[in-house]
Amino acid sequence: MTSRHESLIRSLGSDLKPVQRLRPPALRALGWLAIVGALAVALAAFANTHAMWERVTAAPDMWLAVIGSTATAVLAGIAAFELSLPDAPRGWAWLPLPGALLWIGASGFGCLRVWVVPAAHVAELSEARDCLLFIIALSVPLSALLLLMLRRACPLNPGLTAAIGGLAVAAAAATLLNFFHPYDAAATDLTVHAFAVALVVGINRALGGQIFSLAGVTAGRLPPN
């Protein structure tokens, strides 16, 4: 063994402190989802839940889209916590796919419907902009919380982990948007939602990689020869 390894091992040994083992990833994901659930309950207090219920149950594509976005948030949340472990298989990234397909499919089919559901109207561009702002504003605290929770593990795929975490956040924010979204499915609204989700995923991927790197999880440093 080279003296280089020996000196590193000694310095790591001197830095050793007792650590608390991480709980199983699914359990940690449930912790984050519980906080999202608590936020949903708090937001419901300010929303017209009766009108929301009427709107969502009026057409199958409306409630299927809500189930899809909820499933995406749950599955992507679990996948992000699984991926944050250093030995996690990358296949976990596919876990949110069924939820995402249902969400995108149902929202897309909603645009093809020729009648407008009761207690709703087609969003104008300024209203669609409010949707964008709502998703982004809600994503900031949810992302910060998720990235901090994920940081405790040691993701060796920081970009992928943060991107899937971003998907969980964006899907959760889009689900919570339903409380304040008296609009029917329409192409403009759908485009704005897709843009907001892509933006949140992209920002999470970029910032998440940085945050995990600051935690000392930089990949492939090349020491000078």
Partner 1 sequence: MPPAVFPGKAEVRSRSRHLMITAETQSRSADDARRAAQMAAAQSGDRAAYEALLRDCVPFISVIAGRQGVPPDRRDDVVQDVLLTIHRARQTYDPTRSFNAWLRVIAERRAIDLLRQVRRHGARELHAPVAFESYPDHGADPARGVEHAQTSGRVKDALANLPAGQREAVEALVLREQSLAEASITTRRSKSALKVNLHRALKALRGKLERTE
Segment holding 184, helix H or strand E: strand 183-184
Query: Is residue 50 a contact point for partner 1 (CB under 8 A)?
Result: no
Segment holding 142, helix H or strand E: helix 125-151
Query: Is residue 224 a contact point for partner 1 (CB under 8 A)?
Result: no
Query: Is residue 216 a contact point for partner 1 (CB under 8 A)?
Result: yes
> Given the complex with partner 1, which of 8 and 140 has the nearer CB atom?
8
> Given the complex with partner 1, which of 117 and 150 has the nearer CB atom?
150
**Which of 74, 93, 91 lies closest to 26 in space, CA to CA?**
74
**Which of 73, 202, 37, 177 lies closest to 185 in space, CA to CA?**
177
The residue range among 31-39, 107-115, 190-198, 211-219 that interacts with partner 1, by the rule CB under 8 A, is 211-219
Q: What number of chain residues touch partner 1 (CB under 8 A)?
A: 35
Beta bridge mates, 142: none
Binding residue for partner 1 (CB under 8 A) from 22, 111, 136, 194? 22
> Given the complex with partner 1, which of 2 and 126 has the nearer CB atom?
2
For 68-127, give the secondary structure using H, E and C. Answer: HHHHHHHHHHHHHHHHCCCCCCHHHHHCCHHHHHHHHHHHHHHHHCCCCCCCCEECCHHH
Query: Is residue 154 a contact point for partner 1 (CB under 8 A)?
Result: yes
Query: Is residue 1 a contact point for partner 1 (CB under 8 A)?
Result: yes
CB of 195 to partner 1, least distance (A): 31
